[in-house]
Amino acid sequence: MTLDELRLALAPEVANAAVFDGWSAAAVDAAADAVGADRDVARLAFPGGALDMIGAWIEAIDAAMLAHFTQEALAKLPIRERIRSLVQFRLDAISGQEEALRRATAIMAMPQNVAGALKTGWRSADLMWRLAGDTATDYNHYTKRTILGGIYSATLAVFASDESDGKADTRAFLDRRIEGVMKFEKAKAKWLNPDRETFSMARFLGRLRYPAR
């Protein structure tokens, strides 16, 4: 197993240990013990410390999502259901690791880590849209990912402190956010439609001069 492979293999166990030990060397040691890896080698897999551990955790979730879904299966669903299913899968993947999520969020919110956090969030949003079948290459490519990244991060914040049965509050929050975005996209599409009926001064003046019979 290469260090990159070991890094991804350890990541979920590091997250489990981070619930108690934080994103620390102790968490890496516990993860190494859990998978039967050498502790010293395991530490080599995370040379950047906590940020590398958190990044690997997110990459492992990305990989699990890609393995679980196919574009063909998702294509059978309405677009809102594709996005909802992808986000929900990610939430289910970290169930029980809420404390690790809270600690990771605090670390990534530090000023020196914000740029890296945004890049990581963009990558996950891009993967979700690609799985959902998005092929946009114009400005929609960027707005879709920015909006989804905002939905996902906001939903994670709710998820981290949600104590409702079955995370019902998180599910309801996610549904509301997606519904709001769908309404916005419909309104935007209508506004940007070049064939929509718009006011034309020339047409108006022409009708005054040559009224319809």
Cβ-based neighbour number of residue 116 at 10 Å? 15
Per-residue pLDDT tens listing for the chain (213 residues): 899 999 999 999 999 999 999 999 999 999 999 999 999 999 999 999 999 999 999 999 999 999 999 989 999 999 999 999 999 999 999 999 999 999 999 999 999 999 999 999 999 999 999 999 998 888 889 988 999 999 999 999 999 999 999 999 999 999 999 988 777 666 656 665 655 555 555 554 555 555 555
Q: Nearest-CA neighbor of 10 among 147, 203, 1, 124? A: 1
What CA–CA distances, in Å, run from 122 to 60, 111, 118, 179? 15, 18, 6, 21
Q: Is the dihedral of CA 84, 90, 92, 95 positive or negative?
A: negative
Please give the single-letter amino acid code of residue 104. A
Cβ-based neighbour number of residue 167 at 10 Å? 19
96 Cβ contact list (under 8 Å, min separation 6) = 16, 19
Give CA–CA dist 157/43, Å, rounded. 29
Give CA–CA dist 176/180, Å, rounded. 6
Supply 100's token pair: 């690790």
- pTM (2 decimals)? 0.84
Contacts 24+ apart (CB under 8 A), 78-86: 79/132, 79/182, 80/178, 80/179, 80/182, 82/131, 82/132, 82/133, 83/128, 83/132, 83/148, 83/178, 84/174, 84/175, 84/178, 86/128, 86/131, 86/132
Give CA–CA dist 75/83, Å, rounded. 11
Domain 79-213, architecture per CATH: Orthogonal Bundle (1.10)
| Domain ranges across the chain | 1-68, 79-213
